[in-house]
Structure 1
Amino acid sequence: MITHIVLFKLKDGVDRDARQVTEAVELAREVGRHVPELVDWRTGWNTVDRDIAYDFAAIGVLADLVALQRYQENAFHRAAIEKWRLISDWVVADLADPD
């Protein structure tokens, strides 16, 4: 299994309540219903305000690296990425379960 973790940091001047942000959040929440390779999908706002904290997270579980590749190529996922690209910077980690 692969756990795919994405942490988003809103760009300076972008407010959490802005229309572009609410649209991006809605798309992120729907990714789990539109990407069949996802075994599990969670999204949400960070609940603790710290200087080093990111604002929003998406965490997906996929069967293997082939499923991860399909997820990355999925059209709905790509549309969500484009929304987030306009309003945030992000980091990604893909963790493989130990054998």
Structure 2
Amino acid sequence: MIIGVVRCECMLYNAQSLKDKRAVIKSILTKAKQRFNISAAEISFHEAWQRTELVFTSVANEKVAVERELQKAIKLIDQNGDIERTETIFEWL
């Protein structure tokens, strides 16, 4: 069994309030959980308007399957024009 974790630190340059930030984050996390075989959450910078850290986790029997799901989550972030990834860290357990 392979467990993959990807942490993405991101910037939201257009967010003018926590409400703006939460709308973007909630949309990404909800879509990721519904579409892919992953768990997702915001883990840092909860009170910062323009900064966040998201984490995505997947479990499967093969590393290829886990990596595929995590890459889909990263692509979901990259396709959203309101958020930009600044740092991405993969961890394998």
Question: TM-score with structure 1 length normalisation?
Answer: 0.57
The runs of 5 or more residues in structure 2 that have no matched partner are: none
Q: Which entry has the higher C-alpha Rg, 1 or 2?
A: 1
Aligned to 2:19: 17
**Identity value in percent:** 8
* Runs of 4+ with deviation above 4 angstroms: 47-50
Listed one character per residue, the Cα deviations across residues 45-73 of structure 1 (whole Å, up to 9, x for unaligned) are 525669xxx5231221232321134312x
**TM-score under structure 2 normalisation?**
0.59
CA RMSD of aligned residues (A): 3.3
Which amino acid is the alignment partner of residue 8 of structure 2? L
Mapping of residues 1-99 of structure 1, within 5 Å: 1-11=2-12, 13-15=13-15, 16-18=18-20, 22-36=23-37, 38=38, 41-44=39-42, 46-47=44-45, 55-63=52-60, 64-71=62-69, 72=71, 74=72, 78-83=75-80, 86-97=82-93
Whose strand proportion is higher, 1 or 2?
2
1:2–1:61 Cα contact (<8 Å) kept: yes
What count of residue pairs does the alignment treat as equivalent? Answer: 86
Q: Deviations over 1:11-53 (max 9, x none)?
A: 5x4324338x6245312233122113x3xx1312525669xxx
